[in-house]
Amino acid sequence: MTDTENELDTPVVEPLNDEAGNDAVAATDDAAGADTTLDAEVIPADAPLAPGSDGNGGEIAVAADVLPSRLLLLPLWERPFFPAQALPLLMNDAPWWPTLEQVMERPQRMVGLVLVKPEQADNASPDDFHEVGTIVRVHNLMRSEGKMQFVAQGLRRFRIREWLSTQAPYEAVVEYLDSEDSVNTEEMRAYSVALINTIKELLPHNPLYAEELKFFLNRFNTNDPSPLADFAAAMTTATKEELQEVLDTAPVLARMKKVLVLLKKETEVAKLQSQIREQVEHKLSEQQREFFLKEQLKTIQKELGISKDDRTAESERFRARLEGRTVPEKAMKAIEEQFEKFAVLEPGSPEYAVTRNYLDVLTDLPWGVHSVDQLDLKRARKILDRDHDGLGDVKDRILEFLAVGALKGEVAGSILLLVGPPGVGKTSVGRSVAAALGREFFRLSLGGMRDEAEIKGHRRTYIGAMPGKFIQAIRETGVANPVIMLDEIDKIGASYHGDPASALLEVLDPEQNVDFLDHYLDVRFDLSKVLFVCTANQLDSIPGPLLDRMEVIRLSGYITSEKLAIAKNHLWPRLLERSGIEPKQLKLSDGALEKIIEGYAREAGVRNLEKQLGRIVRKAAVKLVEGDRDGKPIKVSAKTVEEWLGKPGFRNLRPGAGVGVVTGLAWTAMGGATLDVEASRIGKGRGFKLTGRLGEVMKESANIAWSYLSANGSEFGVPEGYFDDATIHLHVPEGATPKDGPSAGVTMASALLSLARNEQPRALAMTGELTLTGQVLAIGGVREKVIAARRVGIDELILPEANRGDFDELPEHIRAGITVHYAQTYADVAKRLFVKKKDAVTG
């Protein structure tokens, strides 16, 4: 093993031919030969053995050329090894090094290579080996870094007869397969010619085939069909199962038939690959030719003075943009500096692209370009009435805003904030304002924004830097005074990238945005002429300094009559147009619309109403396509609504009634809602229990109501010591919904008073904050709460005296039919709580 160990660092030698292979085998002495051939079957290898005389005219075999009947085995897992091959093999050191150590100790240096079934051979067992393999002679064994490599010279096929060991090193008794064939030699010659011709077809398609053929011709004669068949099979890319089937076939003619099929497949694949390669090369050559011609044309045009290079053309295009624009002096100075820098940069440098993009943005901004405002109030009112039904107070506020602009001659330096539940038309109102003014409109959604660079831009040092959304909006609209809508401003976020809400302070402050500095531009741009229209569902999540810069306009929910008008004038025509249905083909009655509004879309906005109407349109489209109606229209009435939409999601439930049950009014982000408050006595001994997922403020209101009535209950007819000897349970239904707010104090006190007097209150609703001294304080969301009461059929309300003005400002159609009592102290509430309705007088 000394010679082998010295060869560990030597390169892999070229594959050996027979003569070289015989020379590579070290000679051994007679004693060693006798010891190692005791179990050998004296069978000459495929190559002729060196003849000699034994005195009787017979032949003798050299020990190194004898094929042993007991053979050490190594597994192969990628493809089988054929007798006609001589190739270097690379294997894992463990667990096969002991096998090769034993092989190298024997004079023949022969080992059997057998294909195994698993994808990895390191853990192969005797059951995984195929029966037929190839005996090879090992040359130039090397070992390094957990791998071993040797050159394998294929000799002959063998079949495993008996396993002598069941773990590595594997050894087995083998028999050698006879490849001679007794069939017609003419037929065999014909198949040989067919194989040779097919190999010739392969040669032009892959130069590697030529190298393999040259190597084969150096070792074998093409007139010998057995190695020719094996060589042809080995040069294909067939699967290992197909190649193993060829190796299993010892008769030459049958083997040649199988190989010819594999070779034909290989030829077809090679031709297809050549076609694909030629197509790709043709396309590339056409592109290269076109590129060279264009470059030559540019050079010729430049020499003749009829064309300019890219840099000159870009510079002239950028300068042409600035003609007729009023660029501030400082900004123009920065632009000229960039032009000078751009003129000396090489087009291939990274700085060239950065400067080019920067100039593209700077020169594309509408410096001094403003659209003319159309401050005609009649036209503005017409547009607002065309786009929206209802919202009379909102339209009046917008017209007031425009009237001030008409007196000044421009609308500038203003930020409107439209607040209301989802689906009430905040975004569309913003579009209508832009249309009324005749300005360009740009909508920017702030929901989920967490990076202040979205507002103020990225610095140009970053790859992929770009200006902020406001500069992009100015650039896209092409004017310096567009209407920019900031949608969902109450849902803006914050992260380690910065606080976008704080970055908005500069943008939305008329005193600061006249010199707005974007990090990418690095020059000042005037945003003071921009009209900002923001939208939000609630004000709580908007930072105070930001809210202070806005003029708030509230959009409350719609009542049934307003929804009916919106559906008839806007939603229904738009859905019919989108679906391609003529109005005469599908008729929807007012009764059906009202039932849909009350039973399926009772929320504050009209978004769900549009969804329900869309369901009807889609189902009607199916009927129109599938059925033959002879031109008769489809009619949807109040009686058939459930056939189209199923059972309604809302039921006409009256507010709760009974001793200890009082209806309150609440405000939510989705609009107003009614809220029943229930009180019950559950035991003796002073105690108070609260349930219904109440927030901290509502818990405080409940305790204040309990304490107030405990101290002053005798004034309102409460039995003496009632609360001292009663455990009270106060509950607000729908316990899965979190509730909080200060306006439930009056309602809770009234529920406790009804329980203590054991008297059922009248059917009315109330809202107001209660103090320990019995004062009733003002609350918010009056409009939403009044609409909620109308929605459930309550027409008598108790409101704080401080909210009298809020109710008086409501539109007439909302106030109509509503009786309101105003309370300054809880005594005003108590005297309205139990008297008959006919005795009640509007406060």
Say how far apart CA 611 and CA 614 lie, in whole Å: 5
For β-strands 671-683 and 661-668, DSSP reports them as antiparallel
Best CA proximity match to 551, nearest among 428, 453, 411: 411
Dig out the tokens for 480 from the structure.
Answer: 């310096």
Contact (CB, 8 A) for 150 and 89: yes
Catalytic pick from 785, 831, 836, 838? 785
What torsion, rounded to 10 degrees, do the Cα atoms 22, 26, 27, 28 define?
Answer: -140
* Residues ≥6 apart with Cβ < 8 Å to 44: 61, 65, 67
What torsion, rounded to 10 degrees, do the Cα atoms 700, 702, 703, 705 define?
Answer: 120
Residues forming a β-bridge with 136: 111, 154
Dig out the tokens for 254 from the structure.
Answer: 């049958």
Catalytic pick from 371, 743, 750, 754? 743
Look up 743 and say whether it is catalytic: yes
Best CA proximity match to 728, nearest among 681, 661, 676, 686: 681
Contact (CB, 8 A) for 400 and 392: no
Helix (H, G, I), strand (E, B) or coil at 390: coil
DSSP H helices in 225-349 = 225-234, 240-248, 252-304, 310-322, 329-344
**Rounded to the nearest 5 degrees, what angle is found at the Cα of 337, between the Cα atoms of 335 and 338?**
65
Mind giving me the DSSP string for 322-334? HTT----HHHHHH
Look up 785 and say whether it is catalytic: yes
Contact (CB, 8 A) for 709 and 755: no
* Residues ≥6 apart with Cβ < 8 Å to 233: 82, 243, 246, 247, 255, 258, 259, 262, 263
Cα 684 to Cα 149, 274, 750: the distances in Å are 95, 98, 21
Residues designated as active site: 743, 785
